[in-house]
Structure 1
Amino acid sequence: MAKHRVYLIPGFFGFTHMGEKPAERIVYFGHVRDVLLEGFQKRGHTAEVESVTGHPTASLEVRARLILRTLEESASGDDAAIHLIGHSTGGVDARGLVSAWLPRQAPHLLERVRSVVSVATPHHGAPMASFFQQDRRGEMLLRLLWLFTVFSLRRGPRPMMFLAFRLFYALSETGHQLGFQATLLDQVTRLMAHLTPTEQATLEEFLDQVGKDQSIIGDLTPEKMVGFNQGNPDRPGVRYGSVITGAPPPSFLGMLRAITGKQDPGMGDLVSFRMLDPQPEVIYGAYSFLYKKSAPDSRELRTPDPSPTHDRLLRDIFGEEYRHRSDGVVPTRTQLWGELITAAVADHLDVLGHFDEPPEHVGWLKSGSHFRAPQFQGLWDRVIDFMVDGSQVRA
């Protein structure tokens, strides 16, 4: 049986897990790890799947060093094929590791790298990075973005999750007038219900790291990514593939779909109990804000034209206007690198299994993507095929 080592590299704000209680633990790649292990086994292969611990907002260089350390500690004892899967910024991390760091620091490991898979990765830059660079407000928004991501994915108390969303939304609109301070975020952290001291300390540590080092923001601007791409060419013998995501653009109909969970909501849904609940509307408002700031039409974002085959596949999935799409964080047109493994109507964290299908799956934002378990399984089956047997691109 062929043996594989798969390393899952988290993206911006990435973490391996958060929380001690099994029923409430957030595992960034938890659902992905399960489906990968099962998929390799079904194909007659053995695999070790490991999530890489990294710094949430440190520079690409710092993040690459952390990944390299993980590989050296875990992969040096055998000759298994190595595959790197990076979500969001993790895809950029993986490319930099294979192009620059492994040739210099661990050529014996480079020889074993078979594939680099990027998932919802800003290969040509993320315009949102330029927004977060603007002023002190950007740091506070980043910390709140982290908070409501944690609250959304955690099976915890909705009031505290809602508070995090409201703070983010208010600060994004009028924060410079309201005079929010970083200490307010610390107060929110301390107020979190049902957190053990260890859980609270872990979360506060991440928030502190975000506050002290946000180098990754500058590294991800479209201008900086031009230089990164020029200085980090693909390595011969390594197969590069990408999974591309795009969520529905914000709209009134989209809000109804996201809140009701119905693809074709009717007038009766306007007066439903769920519509009278303000929480989903605020959460959808946060999604709309992020989608706008992802700036899929930004002039600073310069992306090469896809091949005719890739262009046709993307049009089949997203429609004629796919170049104007975003997954709520990363523009769709900046995500293509190497082969197109598959594409999905999904928001930025849907593809990790963080979508609305309780009790197993808990969503991040109400984007109205309607991404569910069958799409999740099909997407990762195609990734496994890409790693294992080099199957052709399928839409």
Structure 2
Amino acid sequence: MAPPPPFNVEQWMDKYETTAKYNIAETCCASVSIEELASLSETQTNASSIIDLKAVQTYGEIRGSSALRGHLARLYSSKASSPLSPENILITPGAIAANFLAFYALLEPGDHVICQHPTYQQLYDVPASLGVETDLWRCRPENDWKPDLEELKGLVRDNTRMIILNNPQNPTGQILPKPLLEQIIDLASSKNITILSDEVYRPLFHGISPLDPAFPPSILSLGYKNTIATGSLSKAYSLAGIRVGWAASRNPDLVERMASARDYTTIAVSQLDQQVASFALSPETIHSLLGRNIQLAKTNLELLERFILKHDDYCSWTKPVAGTTAFVKFERDGKAVDAEAFCRTLQEKTGVMFLPGDYGFGGEFKGYVRIGYVNRTEVVKDGLEELRKFMRREFDEVPLAE
């Protein structure tokens, strides 16, 4: 295994987010404290009672606490034709660890994978670092970021072992609609290809109704056994700091192989963190927490849309329907701006933080920036006001992309 290349998104965030005054590059819903989480519960709960302070801090249940896996199993079973067993869920330190385990355990040199793109760099660079041949299934702005099934069919080889999806998609905020998911399932099942779906932004749907025929179910709900869904408490559930994620599959063999590989990495996840996660996903808390975050997304997206409409000579996008991120292109005189220079200058002058799209997702995305709009509303509102001033006073001085 060769070391992967630098993880550009994470390095940019690490470098700039601690000094940002208005962090609207953040991809998590506005984070909550344990006290705030307790206040969202339908029960009268004190923050101190969420964690069992008398419990001895052993490793605990190695694959994850029964309570937490039980809540996740209930959520994955609610829209499925058959229930998912808690035994088919493995708790990990965030979704990033779940994704890594799936690649490490299930792929080997000489295999081939296909990854939806643009997406989180880990999803294609980690397989490549394992000696796996990797092709990108490209989503294009002219098609509202919807990928083409015929292109996917053309990428499949005899040695294709995995199709990697990100639904909802980072950075565009778009979805793979249900009819397309069903076609992907048909293709994968005909060739016994495993599908890994990074669903870390699920279930934050704010621009599409569950009654819409395009509304995407979890990959685990479509009847194909060789699927893996990964997720975490970080994005839709506002609890990035507890570092709890998971991998789930209807194929016990896939879970066993990931669990075996996990013995060499993290062994177990903090009992304290899992107690907080279990409380957040309990029936008494989850609906209020998600309701808060969906409303936050709707309110803030309206602010962002208003800004883009007022600056449509310079900005273009496909409005997000899910998740926490928007991919916005900035141009001047019909030419893409230098997104890195734009983001650096913007933060230096105003304290507003964006992430440059070509730096984080590939050189073909010149002029694009990723905006994380589900921070607290006052942060987004004030940040967009500073951006408005910058556009009037400074934007003409931003260099164009080469």
Whether the TM-score (by the shorter chain) exceeds 0.5 is no
